[in-house]
């Protein structure tokens, strides 16, 4: 596989998809493909779909590790700056304490304030007593501050070490997920490459038919209900952004502006509307407020499959916009064309 193909192939998505709205007529299932494979095109389609599903799970793992690694890198930078500032503070405190010691040495071990106390002048004595007390308090305060700063520095250093360990673990997780993504996509592409062009076209038709049947059944079930209304201005802005990306390619790990994966699209759409949300579909499902499917409104995110490995944005009228999978572009599809896990509402 060429470098260019690896880059685009690494784009993993969460499900096979293409819009087939309810009411469309469907052809009967095709006979097994020519070539004596022993498998029907429907079997092949399901096998490829499962490979992309596995790749989608690995994609979420990669994106999560990437997101965490970025956060840890930023934390390490902050800790490093704090450590540098702490070291500078310690050096200044040591300089000040050294100056105090040198001053005492120059007066034969007797501070200037103590010499004033021995002068026999009552006014000088009182002033000297006050100065000596202030000096002792200042030295004590500097020593306590030095101790605190040194303790803080040890804590910051330990925190930085912990963050480095986590960062390295996430780098390994990313690499493992990347290999899994490539493995599953390569397997899917290998199967597709063995199909004749007419069989690939028929398989795409079968895919559309299956999704169309799922969408029709979902719409007929009444699960959509009356809906949650037209949506907020913020939700409408998120939908407008997602719709503007129709035709952009699905690329694994991409967050725009010209290519997206499924959660990259939904995240950037909501960022454009002024609301930051988690990077992955699984984290979006875990952390964002959930609403009933029957009450979803434009801008809400639909989470698909039991492992929350795919996400799309509801746009109203039973439809959604999403980034499907490798080799496909951002498109509109039936909201019920894949198994719905639930709905979350960023806004």
Q: Which residues are catalytic?
A: 262, 310, 322
Interatomic CA distance for residues 249 and 271, integer angstroms? 20
Closest CA to 89 of 160, 158, 151: 151
List the beta bridge partners of residue 302. Answer: 312, 343
Please list the alpha-helical segments (H only) found in 11-111.
Answer: 41-106
- The continuous run of DSSP H or E covering 128 comes out as helix 122-193
List the beta bridge partners of residue 310. Answer: 304
Give the rounded distance of the alpha carbon of 199 from its chain centre.
38
Please report, for residues 73, 116, 337, the alpha-carbon distance to residue 208 in angstroms, rounded to integers and kept in the order given. Answer: 43, 98, 9
Contact 214, 337 (CB under 8 A): yes
Close Cβ partners of 256 (under 8 Å, ≥ 6 residues apart): 245, 248, 264, 265, 268
Closest CA to 13 of 329, 336, 332: 329
Give, in degrees to the nearest 5, the angle at Cα 172 between 311 and 177. Answer: 35
DSSP category for residue 28: P
Closest CA to 262 of 240, 287, 245: 245
């Amino acid at each position: 596989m060429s470098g260019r193909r690896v880059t685009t192939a690494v784009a993993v998505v969460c499900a096979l998809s293409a819009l087939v709205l309810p009411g469309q007529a469907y052809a009967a299932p095709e006979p097994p493909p020519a070539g004596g494979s022993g498998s029907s095109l429907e079997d092949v389609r399901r096998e490829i779909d499962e490979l992309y599903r596995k790749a989608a799970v690995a994609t979420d793992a990669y994106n999560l590790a990437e997101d965490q690694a970025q956060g840890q890198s930023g934390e390490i930078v902050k800790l490093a700056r704090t450590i540098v500032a702490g070291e500078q503070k310690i050096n200044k405190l040591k300089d000040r304490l050294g100056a105090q010691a040198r001053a005492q040495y120059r007066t034969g071990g007797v501070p200037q304030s103590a010499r004033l106390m021995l002068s026999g002048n009552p006014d000088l004595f009182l002033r000297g007593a006050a100065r000596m007390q202030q000096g002792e308090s200042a030295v004590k305060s500097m020593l306590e501050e030095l101790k605190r700063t040194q303790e803080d520095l040890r804590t910051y250093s330990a925190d930085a070490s912990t963050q480095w360990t986590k960062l390295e673990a996430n780098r390994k997780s990313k690499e493992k997920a990347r290999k899994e993504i490539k493995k599953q996509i390569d397997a899917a592409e290998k199967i597709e490459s063995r199909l004749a062009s007419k069989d690939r076209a028929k398989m795409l038709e079968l895919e559309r038919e299956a999704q169309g049947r799922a969408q029709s059944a979902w719409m007929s079930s009444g699960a959509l209900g009356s809906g949650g209304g037209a949506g907020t201005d913020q939700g409408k802005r998120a939908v407008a952004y997602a719709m503007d990306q129709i035709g952009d390619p699905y690329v694994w790990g991409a967050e725009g502006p010209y290519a997206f994966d499924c959660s990259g699209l939904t995240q950037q759409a909501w960022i454009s509307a002024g609301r930051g949300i988690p990077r992955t579909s699984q984290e979006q499902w875990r952390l964002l407020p959930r609403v009933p499917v029957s009450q979803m409104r434009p801008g809400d995110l639909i989470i698909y499959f039991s492992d929350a490995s795919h996400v799309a944005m509801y746009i109203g009228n039973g439809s959604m916009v999403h980034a499907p999978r490798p080799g496909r572009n951002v498109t509109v599809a039936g909201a019920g064309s894949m198994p719905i896990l639930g709905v979350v509402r960023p806004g």
